[in-house]
Amino acid sequence: MENQNIINIENLNLSIGKQHILKNINTSIPKNKITVILGPSGCGKTTLLKSLNRLTDLNPDVKITGKITIDDINIFNTNIDVTEIRRKMGLLAQRPYPLPTSIFNNVTFGLRISGRTNKKFLLPRVERYLKLANLWEEVKDRLHEPASRLSIGQQQRLCLARGLAVDPEIILADEPTSALDPISSAAIEERFIELKENYTVIMVTHILRQAKRIADNVIFMYLGEIIEQGTAEQVFENPQQEITKQYLRGSFY
Amino acid sequence: MKKIRKIEEIFFRSMALMSSILIIFALGLIIFSIIKKGFPALSWEMVSQTPKGGFYFGKEGGILNAIVGSLFLATGATFLALIIGLPVALYINVYLIKRVKLVNSIRFLLDVLWGVPSIVYGAFGFAVMIYFGLKTSLLAGIVVVTLFIIPIMVRAMDESLKLVPRGLLESASSLGATKTEIAFRVFLRQSFPALITATLLSFGRAIGDAAAVMFTAGFTDSIPQSLGQQSATLPLSIFFQLSSPIEEVKNRAYAAALVLTVIILIISILSRFLTKRFKKNIIKF
């Protein structure tokens, strides 16, 4: 069975200052699957994720070589507007970062900055994306309250709705449950499993059990390199590399 | 060992307490002496009339010229400084996010400018005015005071914009926002209460300064009718009256100081009030 790949990464090297963070990354991300980037802290997982939507551009002293293509478009091509690339991907960060405005304005931020400010256009979309993020029932009566009043679990789901509202193809999630309680975490995981029907999900985690619960595809990284990759079954049931085996046994985190 | 730790604790606690009492006492004393000497001299005439002939010898009149002049000057300078300072603060925090060294040197430069005494700004303004053959005027005063408060305003704004977490920048970026959208829709909003405080702090500095306006705005007994005319200011009005040997005039200086203090008090209360009002949207991280 041949998966359709949405992202291809070829010979990606990234360094910040003198630190070589990502070394010769070659991989592909299949469409409409959950790909989990797994590995111990500081192995470059987050950097790999952030280079996909060029958030690494915001860091000083970053040097990147290699190629990342998304939908066959090289994202490092300087002719492309970086905001166009970023709109293809919704980002969930390690902790929620709602914008300093109302719930309604948070969800519609991406639409409003692209010129869609008509309330009649926005309102049904707010409902749709808040429902997709499983937050609608809790906030439908207070859409114009500040997002700062939501609990942290609700804020993270708001950030998911906000990311979905720009109509991305890909959801990037950087340890999205690390600041959340177990119930909120489970809510996010459930969402991902439902969302993969229409979206490609790429999630960074260092929680092995979480990876086993939701991954279709696994990329295992260690010290800036991809050690092993493949379907969840291959990597978890039949790892080939010694480091992977040790990690899966829990010898190190 | 236990005993030493206990002594240490008591020692530093009493030091801190004493310092706090000292500073509150000093502040209380200042306010007390201004009120004690100034309040009896304060009258409706004081704040509603300009100086009449012989005002500085104890005859009738008031300090309306200085009150209005100071408000004009401080408002004009704060407005100009805001137009110039806010973009600078946003620029170094949003657009120059990658240029760490450049931003640090800009901050250093602003800190140096902050430290320059206002008399130096005044002298600089005066030298420029002589070179171009300009007379002292309200406009010249406004321009020099603007230069004087810009570093204060920019650094105060900068300190609050610096606290906007990187994650918020990344989140807004990943929604496809440009730097300008991030600056005005995210950073400006998240720091809004602190930006108001920075603006009003600058206003307080502008209205309270005597040295920068001495050579540039001049002094006059009438209310300025245009930017080209001279303007009186409260600090200079206090200075001139306090230099008088006549007791009655000296007491009026304290009344003028009381008026200035009340204006600054109103600004502080306004700042508190506005900060509270705009706080609801702020995300706490």
Residue-wise DSSP of B31-86: HHHHHHHHHHH--HHHHH----TTGGGT-S--SHHHHHHHHHHHHHHHHHHHHHHH
Going through A75-155 in order, the beta strands assigned E by DSSP cover: 89-92
- pLDDT, average across residues A243-248: 84
Buried residues in A139-155 as b, exposed as e (16+ CB within 10 A): beeebeebbbebeebbb
Start-to-end CA distance of chain A, whole Å, equals: 33
Q: What is the mean pLDDT of chain A?
A: 86
All residues of chain B having their beta carbon less than 8 Å from the beta carbon of residue A90 are 174-175
> Do residue A109 and residue B281 have CB atoms under 8 angstroms apart?
no
Does residue B185 sit in helix, strand or coil? helix
Chain B positions touching A94 (Cβ under 8 A) are 167
Q: Are residues B262 and B124 in the same domain?
A: yes
Q: Is the CB of residue A91 less than 8 Å from the CB of residue B170?
A: yes
Mean pLDDT over A5-27 rounds to 88
- B283 and A148 in contact by Cβ < 8 A? yes
CB B73 within 8 A of CB B207: yes
Structure tokens at A75: 């994202």
B130 and B22 assigned to the same domain: no
List Cα–Cα distances, A133 to A104, A105, A143, A157, B176, in angstroms: 14, 16, 15, 6, 20
pLDDT score of A2: 46
- Note whether B174 and B131 are same-domain residues: yes
3-class secondary-structure state, position A70 = strand
Pairwise CB contact (< 8 Å): B98 & A109? no
- Tell me the one-letter amino acid at A219: I
List, in sequence order, the alpha helices (H) in A15-81: 45-52
Considering the domain architecture, whether residues B107 and B204 belong to the same structural domain is answered as yes
Which amino acid is residue B236, in one-letter code?
Answer: L
Token readout for B7 is 């002594």
User: A3 pLDDT exceeds 70?
Assistant: no
Confirm or reject contact between B226 and chain A (CB < 8 A): no
> Which of B102, B171, B276, B279 to mutate to probe the A interface, most A CBs <10 Å?
B171
User: Helix, strand, coil shares of chain B as percentages rounded to 5?
Assistant: 75, 0, 25
Contact A207, A199 (CB under 8 A): no
Chain A interface includes B100 (CB < 8 A): yes
Question: Any idea what DSSP says for residue A192?
Answer: H
User: Is position B50 within any domain?
Assistant: no
**Is the CB of B175 less than 8 angstroms away from the CB of A110?**
yes
Q: What is the mean pLDDT of chain B?
A: 90
Number of domains in chain B: 2
Is B154 part of any domain? yes
Minimal Cβ distance to A100: which of B99, B170, B283:
B283
Let me know how long chain A is: 253
Q: Please provide the distance, in angstroms rounded to a whole number, between the alpha carbons at the two ends of chain B.
A: 40
Give the chain A residue nearest B168 (alpha carbons).
A97
Question: B64 and B22, same structural domain?
Answer: no
**C-alpha–C-alpha distance, residues A164 and A197, integer Å:** 14
Q: Which residues of chain B have pLDDT under 70?
A: none
| Residue A225 contacts residue A218 (beta carbons within 8 Å) | no
Q: Tell me: do B142 and B272 sit in the same domain.
A: yes
Q: What is the DSSP letter of A1?
A: -
Containing domain of residue B233, as a range? 55-281
Q: Could you tell me what percent of chain B has a pLDDT over 90?
A: 60
Q: Cα separation of A106 and B111, whole Å?
A: 36
What is the DSSP-derived secondary structure letter of residue A53?
T
Q: How far apart are CA B252 and CA A228, in angstroms?
A: 84
A46: distance to nearest CA of chain B, Å?
13
Dihedral angle over CA of B140, B143, B144, B150, nearest 10: 170
B160 and B28 in a common domain: no
Q: What is this structure's pTM?
A: 0.84
Cβ separation A113–B181 shorter than 8 A: yes
- The verdict on B23 and B88 lying in the same domain is no
Percentages (nearest 5) of helix, strand, coil residues in chain A: 40, 30, 35
Question: Judging by beta carbons within 10 Å of its beta carbon (0-12, 13-18, 19+), is residue B119 exposed, middle or buried?
Answer: middle
- Degrees to nearest 5, angle at CA B5 with B2 and B10: 125
Residue B60 has, within 13 A of its CA and on its CB side, a CA count of: 4
Q: Please check whether residue B172 lies inside any domain of the structure.
A: yes
Q: Which CATH number is B270's domain given?
A: 1.10.3720.10
Supply B150's token pair. Answer: 């810009």
| B46 in a structural domain | no
Compute the distance between CA of residue B172 and CA of residue B194 in angstroms, rounded to an integer. Answer: 21
- Domain-located, residue B47: no
The whole-angstrom separation of Cα B8 and Cα A248 is 51
Per-residue model confidence (pLDDT) at position A253? 62
SS (H, E, C) B128-152: HHHHHCCCCCHHHHHHHHHHHHHHH
Q: Could you read off the pLDDT of A104-116 as tens digits, one per residue? A: 999 999 889 888 8
> How much is the pLDDT for B184?
92
In terms of CA atoms, which chain A residue is nearest residue B190? A100
Residues B191, B82, single domain; the answer is yes
Q: Is residue B247 part of a domain?
A: yes
- Which residues make Cβ contacts (< 8 Å) with residue B136, sequence separation at least 6? B129, B215, B216, B217, B218, B230
- Listed as own residue / partner, the contacts of A109-113 with beta carbons closer than 8 Å and 24 or more positions apart are A109/A162, A109/A165, A109/B172, A109/B175, A109/B177, A109/B185, A110/A162, A110/A165, A110/A166, A110/B175, A110/B176, A110/B177, A111/A165, A111/A166, A113/B175, A113/B176, A113/B177, A113/B178, A113/B181, A113/B185
Tokens of residue A238, six digits: 């039949």
Q: Does B78 lie in the same domain as B118?
A: yes
Question: Alpha-carbon distance A13 to A48, whole Å?
Answer: 10
CA distance B195 to B82: 10
CA distances from B205 to A111, A235, B144 (A): 42, 65, 13
Tell me: do B118 and B26 sit in the same domain.
no
Nearest chain B CA: its distance from A73 CA (Å): 17
Is residue B18 located within the same domain as residue B114? no
A20-75 pLDDT, tens per residue?
A: 888 888 888 888 889 999 888 888 888 888 988 888 888 888 888 888 888 888 88
Detail the DSSP E strand segments found in A32-87.
Answer: 34-38, 62-70, 73-74
Which tokens is B41 given? 């001299």
